[in-house]
Structure 1
Amino acid sequence: MRFSAALLLVALKLVTATPAPLEKRATVQGFDISNYQPNVNFKAAYNSGARFVIIKATEGTTYIDPSFSNHYTGATSAGLIRGGYHFAHPDRTTGATQATYFLAHGGGWSNDGITLPGMLDIEYNPNGSTCYGLSPTAMVAWIQSFVDTYHAKTTRYPMIYSTADWWSTCTGNSNAFSSTCPLVLARYGSSVGNIPGGWPYQTIWQNADTYAYGGDSDIFNGGLPQLKKLASG
């Protein structure tokens, strides 16, 4: 088949044309903190672009973070969307018991547009067995108990924080929560890496263990309207 010079020139332009740039997905900077960061510059964080913070409230059923109240007040005054998190100890009491304790000490949710659903921090045991001595089946049941109790009392499903490795090891990579609980995935690096548990994507990515204004760096997977929607239910 013969081509005219004009057609060949058009074809050449199509081949060598610069491809259109890929659309950059919107994200929102945030951070998470505990009593390890007693002094946090919330206003500076807001001015730098951060719009949310997740604050440690409780651990197990015997520990209330001593900085929680001050952190929560400071975050609110700075205009940040904020919420609490609970560090789980599945080897001590039931999921329902720990969810109830969390709710009684700062982990609740209210439909005011600035409160994130509570977050269950379930990860490596700092004091012993990685999986707290529970089988994957028992661990999933424990998490389900926490989730169901939180949902029953707030109408919201809690966020779940973990790592891909822990989730795979200790829950058998269960997908039981992928359609209900937003995933907060911890992975320090330049990419989010493997998404565990059947979740199609992470809602929040903890991408670094340092943040300029205190705590760890978190990246919300979406724009500010989507972040506000997460807070509103």
Structure 2
Amino acid sequence: MLSRTRNLMAVALVGASLALATTLSAGAASAAQPVSKGNNIPVGQGYMGAGYAQDTKGQLAQPAPGQVTPNASYPAGIDVSHYQGSINWSSVKSAGIQFAYIKATESTTYKDPTFNANYLNAYNARVIRGAYHFARPDLSSGAAQANYFASNGGAWSADNLTLPGMLDLEGGCYGKSAASMQSWILDFYNTYKSRTGRDVVIYTSASWWNSCTGGWSGMYSRSPLNVAHWTSAASPTIPSGFPFWTFWQYSDSGSVSGISGAVDRDRFSAGTDRLLALANNTP
């Protein structure tokens, strides 16, 4: 997530929105994508982007100050955890941020200490928000972690302001074969959907997905994709097995009013109406 250590299927994008999302995902972007840095992240210290090698930072093209960001006409978002400290969500909203993913849990033992405040305060500021779970496939089953997530902030409600939960997959393959990782992810998905009625969003990079699942296509018809590719190029490199992206984490060193220090910057793949459709589980 931070520079300091760190598809409902693509929402039912129809007509022009679907065509646009597909076009944006086509082809490889010019900058290097995040790559896995291994399984050495202590429990509690995971966040979106923590599992990607820091020695690639100097190679990742970042948007210059004031530059138009990728897909700039569509909703802007961020993702946060306790590393961002206290957040002024009213200022975040005023800065044009329409959605946020907020870390809730990791494994079956850790809940982010700022989650409750962030989740409530984002809601009160009318920022469409969702919770995410940092996966630890080495420590327990997908079902166990999905249940912990759903019971500790990862649930969903049709209130116009809540996105489906997100599964953060990164940080190495955790000693699992591609087939075993596929089974773990599907176990998490099935349990989460049984608990919440929603399809879990998957956050990952092309490098992690292709390496750790073998470029598995088994989730593209189930899960919206949030792809990690820090670049100022017009489109990200997406994992094999996914035809397009729904969210794109394009920078890990953004700046937003109301947040001290760097924060990840994200984009949605269509207009605000489609973001609301994803939040409300409507076609």
Question: TM-score range, shorter-chain basis?
Answer: 0.7 to 0.9
C-alpha deviations, 1:64-104, integer Å up to 9, x for none?
A: 00000111111011110011000000011000000000001
Equivalent residues in 2 for 1:18-37 (5 A)? 26-37=73-84
Equivalent residues in 2 for 1:1-233 (5 A)? 26-124=73-171, 130-191=172-233, 192-213=235-256, 214=259, 215-233=263-281
Return the letter of the residue paired with 1:89: R
DSSP 3-state at the match of 1:149? helix
C-alpha deviations, 1:109-166, integer Å up to 9, x for none?
A: 1111210000000111xxxxx2000000000000000000011111110000000000
Give the number of equivalent residue pairs.
Answer: 205
Q: Percent identity?
A: 44
Return the letter of the residue paired with 2:156: W
Could you say if the C-alpha distance between residues 38 and 25 of structure 1 is closer, same or farther in structure 2, counting changes exceeding 3 Å? closer
TM-score (structure 2 length as normaliser): 0.70
Cα drift, residue 38 of structure 1: 1.5
Q: Considering only CA atoms, is the larger Rg found in Structure 1 or Structure 2?
A: 1
Q: Check conservation: 1:112, 1:232, Cα contact below 8 A.
A: yes
Cα drift, residue 223 of structure 1: 0.8
Long gaps (5+) in structure 1 = 1-23, 125-129
Q: Check conservation: 1:57, 1:64, Cα contact below 8 A.
A: yes
TM-score (structure 1 length as normaliser): 0.85
Q: Check conservation: 1:178, 1:197, Cα contact below 8 A.
A: no
Give 1:8's aligned residue: none
Return the letter of the residue paired with 2:140: T
Find the aligned partners of 2:169 and 2:140 in 1 and give their Cα distance: 14
